[in-house]
Chain A
């Protein structure tokens, strides 16, 4: 079936099988490999993207379902001149990643979280990121980065 969708502002249109997952579509058909697959069972958050502005786990959405919608992936965050998004900048400054595997999902989840919550405590951030697992950092610097970014964006 035909799927037409805007990904990071660019119109895309492809013929896909109904059973194709959104994450596969983004990675294998559109060729944007910044979005990772971790658990493939909606637990780890590595595949988090924005669907019409809200964070979702793209391993648990069908490509067919996003027809006519807008998707944003990690590749869409930085400015055209390469300037980092405030959340990316904060991750960079706070050393909020080690291997980096969880990072695209962590950043996309954080951007959505900050948009929905104007002022957050450390507990709010920890709870808000409960759907994203990191095997390296112990979360501490991730939480610091998100708090820093949320202050910047106020």
Chain B
């Protein structure tokens, strides 16, 4: 399967990328790892006229300790996130969720920025970032803005990014003492989650992100507030499907997904010591 024709440019700086996006408007798309975009283009579900390749922006491949938070460059590949010592020790749930993405070949190409910017409710990585209460930094012609991850996802495969903006950094709060769990239910090893859950419980911190339970990556405020009010795993897990609008598809009905969410959140909370 071959994508429809497009013009291709490689850019070397964030400014060049933003400029290219500004010139071509909604005809243009950034390509990072290409592991969400190229499959869509091969099926002709996406037919951008201009492809702006940001793979050479080596300045956006990093994980840094910035005091209260870890700064992760948008072009950091999954294989470099999952094994990064800073991430493993301060945000374990992100390392685990990233390790659960696809297979080694996919993780050699896919990027954290791409996984977020795609806005896919079935993606594992946003759930971990929701549970950690991360923020994302986007750059555009007017400069930089920082957005809470939960406000970033606005609809199915839609985000708060303007046409001429790009994601440059993810800021992950450091929670070295928090207990966490990542739960993923699928049928075959490399598959996407039918339902997944990221859980982070720390001092004054309760974070619960769900995979594939809504049109957007979903933060379960019901479970979080129950936890902050002292609920145990059983009690809080019962609330997992509250507020969700899970899809029904070939893999699972909505009812079944709701059931899975309760089971996975309960198991996750137990693993996280609740």
CB distance from B75 to the nearest CB of A (A): 13
Chain A residues near B6 (CB, 8 Å)?
Answer: 18-19
Alpha-carbon separation in the docked complex, A18 to B105 (Å): 22
Q: Which residues in chain A, 6-62, are within 8 Å of chain B measured between CB atoms?
A: 17-21, 24, 40-43, 45, 48, 51, 54-57, 60-62
Is the beta-carbon distance between B8 and A55 smaller than 8 angstroms?
A: no
Number of interface residues of B (CB under 8 A): 28
Is the beta-carbon distance between A19 and B108 smaller than 8 angstroms?
A: no
Chain B residues near A61 (CB, 8 Å)?
Answer: 34, 38, 109
Alpha-carbon separation in the docked complex, A22 to B10 (Å): 16
Is A1 engaged at the interface, CB distance under 8 Å to the other chain?
Answer: yes
Alpha-carbon separation in the docked complex, A148 to B7 (Å): 46
Closest to A130 in B: B189
Alpha-carbon separation in the docked complex, A113 to B1 (Å): 28
Is the beta-carbon distance between B39 and A17 smaller than 8 angstroms?
A: no
Is A64 engaged at the interface, CB distance under 8 Å to the other chain?
Answer: yes
Chain B residues near A127 (CB, 8 Å)?
Answer: 189
CB distance from B100 to the nearest CB of A (A): 10
CB distance from A25 to the nearest CB of B (A): 12
Closest to A43 in B: B190
Interface string of B31-58 (1 = CB under 8 A from A): 1001100110010000000010101000
Alpha-carbon separation in the docked complex, A128 to B99 (Å): 11
Is the beta-carbon distance between B108 and A56 smaller than 8 angstroms?
A: yes
CB distance from B79 to the nearest CB of A (A): 8
Picked from B2, B10, B190, the residue with its CB within 8 Å of the CB of A19 is B2
Chain B residues near A64 (CB, 8 Å)?
Answer: 8, 53
A19-B3, A45-B103, A57-B105 known, 7 other contacts, Cβ within 8 Å: A54-B79, A56-B105, A60-B39, A60-B109, A67-B10, A131-B103, A131-B190
Binding site for B on A (CB under 8 A): 1, 17-21, 24, 40-43, 45, 48, 51, 54-57, 60-62, 64-65, 67, 109, 112-113, 116, 127-128, 130-132
| 6 contacts across the A-B interface (CB closer than 8 A) | A24-B2, A41-B42, A65-B55, A113-B104, A130-B189, A131-B104
